[in-house]
Amino acid sequence: MDKSAERKNVYKVYDQIADWYSKNRSHAIGEKNYLDEPMTFLPSEAEVLDLGCGNGKPMMEYLLQSGLKVTGVDASDKMLELARENFPEENFILEDMRKLKLGRKFNAIIAWHSFFHLPTADQPDMFSVFADHLHDRGILLFTSGTENGEAWGFIGGEDLYHASLDTSSYEALLLGNNFKVLKHQINDQSCGGANVWMAQYNS
């Protein structure tokens, strides 16, 4: 696949590496603190939208074990095939997050290590997509970079595209779409150096 196609369709790469990823992705939940904290804002049996859920392990699995109702969305057909095998009773949707129009709202949206695969030109519009799918006072949790630009990783023998806006742009986009930033953690080594945003939507 050429680089321009990979920028637009990262999920095709995940189709290719899905089996490798399932075998090699750590089952340790370094993200646990970031998954636990939004729960303090949510009602019991809250409904969560996991954007870029992959095969569902370990993050979606942890959310389900915590008593939440989770809908998984991913654009990788192969990843969702594995997710359905792992969690046959749960609801999974094959869709590119940029095209998401589910016609329903959730108490929280998680886009952990998925949103940052979108090209920078596509990222701003996602904040209205997030808002359209959240109840009032719902929680948005996502990871990003800290500077405007593109980067390439290498995973499972394949090049993997990442992109980011700068911090001030994310702050402006959140504010402009009626989100209040609750937390912004940069380079958290407890979960692989992630840059994490947690925000609350006020409709």
Given its phi and psi angles, is residue 103 left (phi above 0), alpha (psi -120 to 50 degrees) or beta? left
pLDDT of residue 154: 86
pLDDT of residue 143: 97
Rg (CA), the chain: 16
Judge whether 68 lies within some domain.
yes
Judge whether 90 lies within some domain.
yes
Expressed as residue numbers, the domain containing 105 is 3-110+124-151+176-201
Judge whether 47 lies within some domain.
yes
81: Cα within 13 Å, side-chain hemisphere: 9
Residue among 28, 19, 153 nearest 79 (CA): 19
Whether 10 shows a pLDDT value over 90: the answer reads no
Whether 90 shows a pLDDT value over 80: the answer reads yes
Number of H helices, E strands in the chain: 7, 9
Indicate which CATH number applies to the domain containing 47.
3.40.50.150
Count the helix, strand and coil residues of the chain and give each as a percent rounded to the nearest 5.
Answer: 35, 30, 30
Categorize the per-residue pLDDT at 5 as very low, low, confident or very high, splitting at 50, 70 and 90: very low
pLDDT of residue 1: 47
Judge whether 167 lies within some domain.
no
The whole-chain average pLDDT of the chain stands at 93
Judge whether 36 lies within some domain.
yes
Judge whether 21 lies within some domain.
yes
Q: How many domains does the chain have?
A: 1
Categorize the per-residue pLDDT at 8 as very low, low, confident or very high, splitting at 50, 70 and 90: low
Judge whether 156 lies within some domain.
no
